[in-house]
Amino acid sequence: MSLLRESLKEIHKRLASRELSARDLAEESLRQIEQKDKEVGAFLLVDQEGAMERAAKLDEQLAAEDQRGILAALPAGIKDNLCTEGVTTTCGSRLLANYVPIYNATVVDKLNEAGAIAMGKLNMDEFAMGSSTENSAFKLTRNPWDLERVPGGSSGGSAAAVAAGEVYFALGSDTGGSIRQPAAFCGVVGLKPTYGRVSRYGLVAFASSLDQIGPLTKNVEDAAYVLQAISGLDVKDSTSADVEVPDYLSALTGEIKGLSVGVPKEMMGEGVSAGVRARVEEAIQKLEQMGATIKEVSLPHSEYAVATYYLLAPAEASSNLARYDGVRYGVRKPGKNLLDMYLETRSQGFGPEVKRRIMLGTYALSSGYYDAYYLKAQKVRTLIRQDFERIFEEVDVIVGPTAPTTAFKIGEKVDDPLTMYMNDILTIPVNLAGLPAISVPCGLADGLPVGLQVIGKAFDESTILRVAHAYEQATERLPVPPLGGIEA
């Protein structure tokens, strides 16, 4: 068995006894990447030199001190929209193909403080706009469960790298489901924290009121460890919340007796495939057997969530992406004059999905349409948030499917944007309301992973971790995916 599939506690125990070194773990990660990534395509850049330097420093620290960070020596993958000092950060776009940040994102600094080893940058849909990682300008990422299928998106590289055993954990970002949906497709755990729980400083913005950074891991306990390391107030992020960070590991009791679990009828209805519905219903029955009280609830405005999201998110993207003009950074295309240079740079630098969303967002914000579209969408967003608040007066958590189907085939939806957008129908409401949610594997349908989504109250990550962990402990783990099982 690969070192990267051992438990975090076992790895720390072996590090403490000097039986294992940070170098061993970094080399194992590089070996797995070399062996598997030609087929999976999770990495855009492997920072071998940086990883080995970091491992050498960690081994010196571990030899000199008894104390170690909570993520000591664990190889990690970083989604390529998180700034990494001195290491290319492309956001999966030609426009930023040559962009090398001069600073780290706060979460990258926090991973360093916790002792993790960044192995490189992971593929993604361009500027995080997509649900399949097919919108990357550079390469295709494949699902380790079936190389003919997508890994989900936009954090598809992050989910695929963890599922394939190339890294111990990865960071992704979630604007409308971009951590949870790929986690479901690839059979791993994906956690989207409450908006404001984790600093967004150094995350290249897509939609600033929706974006949130979170972990993708092999199991729920690892998700708690990573969340512990990256959470907290950051004065460099004006939207970072000054809310105390609890001890997430203490929430993993394995006990959910007496908790009230809401199941929205809208999440189990039309559009959810029979296989996904069956696995989620089995998971709900399991929660009931474990002592939870199950209650049917309703999110009446959730049917408007996709329409609301695809007005608000593109509007914010239109504003945020206006800075990419080829003048200050990124790839610059020549033109006869300044306006011509802007036109050439943006038309050649952005891919079709990004252009589609910029145009949609610009239209929604334009004079004469602002009130009819953008302002109305903001009002519906409030109604969606109020639906959740009303339900959380009666229940502790909400559960349902993470995605309406299992991973679809590469190329199946890429030419049909509306069908692709509907793939996020179950995750988008959570972002609009700013709530925390986790996707945990709940079995297979037609040989592919299904994700159970657990949604919590604002800043109550502890309870969703508790429920997800208890469920995980009480059920059989998924087998290692076919490609993830190859060991040299």
The one-digit pLDDT tens for each residue of the chain (488 residues) are 789 999 999 999 999 999 999 999 999 999 999 999 999 999 999 999 999 999 999 999 988 876 789 999 999 999 999 999 999 999 999 999 999 999 999 999 999 999 999 999 999 999 999 999 999 999 999 999 999 999 999 999 999 999 999 999 999 999 999 999 999 999 999 999 999 999 999 999 999 999 999 999 999 999 999 999 999 999 999 999 999 999 999 999 999 999 999 999 999 988 899 999 999 999 999 999 999 999 999 999 999 999 999 999 999 999 999 999 888 777 888 889 999 998 888 989 899 999 999 999 999 998 888 889 999 999 999 999 999 999 999 999 999 999 999 999 999 988 888 788 888 999 999 999 999 999 999 999 999 999 999 999 999 999 999 999 999 999 999 988 987 554 43
The pair of structure tokens assigned to 427 is 């995750």
End-to-end CA distance of the chain: 10
In words, the CATH class of domain 3-262+395-474 is alpha beta
Residues 6+ away with beta carbon under 8 Å from 139:
41, 44, 123
Q: Using the structure block, give the residue that is written with the tokens 């995750």.
A: 427
Structure-derived torsion over alpha carbons of residues 367, 368, 374, 378, reported in degrees to the nearest 10:
120
Q: Decide if 333 is catalytic.
A: no
DSSP 420: H
- Residue 454 bridge partners (DSSP): 399, 438
Torsion angle (degrees, nearest 10) of CA 88, 81, 160, 411: -100
Catalytic residue among 131, 136, 155, 178: 178
pLDDT at position 487: 44
What is the Cα–Cα distance from 139 to 45, expressed in whole angstroms? 11
* b/e 201-217 (16+ beta carbons within 10 angstroms → b): bbbbbbbbbbbbbbbbb
Cα 288–Cα 294–Cα 299 angle in degrees, nearest 5:
145
154 is catalytic: yes
Give the model's pLDDT for residue 297: 97
Residues in Cβ contact with 141 at an 8 Å cutoff, skipping those fewer than 6 apart: 40, 41, 42, 123, 133, 150, 151, 156, 157, 160
Which residue bears the tokens 């469920």?
Answer: 471
Closest to 172 in 3D by CA, of 246, 456, 161, 30: 161
HSE-up (13 A, CA, CB side) for residue 132: 25
Buried/exposed code over 438-467 (b: 16+ C-beta within 10 A; e: otherwise): bbbbbbbbeebbbbbbbbbbbbbbbbbbbb
Amino acid at residue number 99: Y
Contact between 431 and 310 (Cβ < 8 Å): no
Q: How far apart are CA 151 and CA 134, in angstroms?
A: 9
User: How far apart are alpha carbons 234 and 290 in whole angstroms?
Assistant: 38
The 3-state secondary structure of 353-411 reads HHHHHHHHHHHHHCCCCCHHHHHHHHHHHHHHHHHHHHHCCCCCEEEEECCCCCCCECC
Q: In terms of Cα–Cα distance, which of 353, 358, 329, 42 is closest to 169?
A: 42
- Is 93 noted as a catalytic residue in this protein? no
CB 441 within 8 A of CB 319: no
Of 119, 146, 149, the residue nearest 133 (C-alpha): 149
Given a contact cutoff of 8 angstroms between Cβ atoms, the answer to whether 174 and 156 are in contact is: no
Token pair 């150094």 is found at 202
Q: Given this model, what pLDDT does residue 484 score?
A: 58
- Angle 214-2-450 from CA coordinates, rounded to 5°: 45
Q: Are strands 260-264 and 212-217 parallel, antiparallel or unpaired?
A: unpaired
Q: Which of 79, 192, 218, 457 is catalytic?
A: 79
Q: At what angle do helices 220-230 and 8-16 cross, to 10 degrees?
A: 70
